A and B are shown apart, each in its own frame.
Chain A
Amino acid sequence: MSDVYIVGAGETKFGELWERSLRELAVEAGLRAIENAGVYSRDVQVLYGSNSLAGIINGQENIGALLSDFSGIAENNIPAIRIEASTASGGAAVRQAYLAVKSGEYDLVMVGGVEKMTDVFGTELIDLTSSVLDREWEAFFGATPAALAAISARKYMSDFNVEKDALAMMSVNDHLNASKNPDAQYKNKLTLEQALNSVSVAEPLNMMDCSPVSDGAAAVLVASENYVKKHKLDGVKILSSADAQDYLALHSRKSLYTLESAKVASRKALERAKIKIDDVSFAEIHDSYSIYGLMELEDLGFAQKGMAKELVYEDIKLNGRIPINPSGGLKAKGNPLGATGVGQFVEAYRQLKEKAGERQVKDPRYAMLHNMGGTGSMSVVHIVGGE
């Protein structure tokens, strides 16, 4: 089976982009990836579009057709399909591209992730984003993604004697890294005090524990070994790809603070890549809420359960033992749902090619990318790099 490479990557700026439409954002990211790779869009054999909520936020379904049409490749009858796995749509779409190339069916695949969230705002948007939960048995009773993260946080903090500072440090780290990322939604550095004193969203989580509402798009081109050799491209290898599921509703899981999906997917990804967790040079993790950052550091294998608090003050920094979210993460680079997981690949590609500018991780070899759906119902983990 063919090895699989990322041969180009591009993204829009993430943020509240009131003047930009869903399709404009997607096309911009796609064109940047095409330009970056130095290939032609007509050479793409299939397009996987990842998106989470366009149906209810923008009133637009049939996203595959929309992206294919406005990126100009419908003219060439190139197939296009939307991949939806809630907030893990991006990782899931890259995994589909990986499988498609690995199988030998395709040599060049485009993955484009997009979300246009600011077409709806306020309490209405909170209701719509709550549709990634179990609508009938969680959201019906007033649950929101932030509320369930808060429920996990309270139990976690109590059982492992963790202070709010440790959670806030995830956001402080994200903001510091994002201040060096031109594509990030927030460039401001965040102090621990500012994070702790921000307005309450769902106790014990504050505004600065929560990823923002974001518009944005990200795209990568995924190619076979043959394609890379034939066109003399300089790619970054996708060493392994894995995904895993857990119960949809938090109340049905075995633990309120263990992400089984992240545990299973990360173990599989490491095993398939034939590397150990200590070999990972940096990671992009799905910290849509600060508490998830800590839970993920543990469940992905960087710390024992309850001990992530020992990593968040020093180790996760850009120049620390295991840099986490050099891009700025979901809190500060931004979280345009369907684009988030693809954006992690854009960052990994730039880092591994040592073109990440001011936020460059020193001598990176392997990146771990973790994209999560809902409150942990799905995790997709990739190991990128090597050679």
Chain B
Amino acid sequence: MGEVSRFWRESAHRYRLVAHKCGNCERTFFPPRDVCPICHRESVGKMKEVDLSGKGVIESFTVIHEVPSPFVRQRPYILAIIKLDEGPSLTAQIVDADPGEVEMGKRVSAVFRKIAQQGSAGIIQYGYKFVLA
């Protein structure tokens, strides 16, 4: 699925959790976006890159048993929506934890991990996962 450039393009945001902050309303957005959905044209050219702390709270989660092909070797895995302290929410795996330890409302922090591999000789993709804090 996809060429190297597709993964390389987003690597800064995925490796270092870089968000965009609207210079008009000061809201923070992750994943980054070039137009603030609140301020629209008033935000154009005013979206600034900001680093996120990587700390947040589990809003909800699931343990996935029926997995897509790039994730077969990780089955089953925990996937969560995490609300970051700076405001935005994101979708990521929770690792180094038993499903029994994971609960909504628990605090988590980001770690840098391998996400998936495209086939047996394909490129290896990296990005963020989360561990219980």
Contacts and interface: CB of A to CB of B under 8 A. Distances in A.
Contacts of A173: none
Given A130-B68, A142-B79, A151-B81, A202 B62 contact: yes
Contacts of B125: 140
Interface in A85-143: 122-124, 126-127, 130, 134, 136-143
A127 B93 contact: no
B60 A154 contact: yes
A142 B104 contact: no
A271 B81 CA distance: 35
A150 interface: yes
A150 B125 CA distance: 25
B74 interface: yes
Interface stretch (B20-28, B44-52, B84-92): B84-92
Interface string B47-65: 0000000000001111111
Contacts of B115: 140-142
Contacts of A143: 79, 91
Given A136-B10, A154-B61, A256-B60, A250 B81 contact: yes
Contacts of A167: none
Interface residues of B, number: 36
A256 B93 contact: no
Contacts of B64: 142, 144, 146-147, 150, 201-202
B68 A200 contact: no
Given A151-B62, A151-B79, A124 B90 contact: no
A134 B33 CA distance: 13
B116 interface: yes
A256 B62 CA distance: 13
Given A136-B10, A140-B125, A155-B60, A250 B66 contact: no
Contact of B104 (A146, A154, A199, A250): A154
Contact of A139 (B62, B68, B80, B90): B68
Q: Which 6 A-B pairs have the closest CB atoms?
A: A127-B68, A150-B62, A155-B60, A123-B69, A251-B89, A126-B68
28 contacts: A123-B69, A126-B66, A130-B68, A134-B31, A136-B6, A136-B10, A137-B31, A137-B91, A139-B68, A141-B91, A141-B92, A141-B127, A142-B79, A142-B115, A143-B79, A152-B60, A154-B60, A154-B104, A202-B63, A202-B79, A203-B62, A203-B65, A203-B99, A249-B31, A249-B91, A251-B81, A252-B88, A256-B81
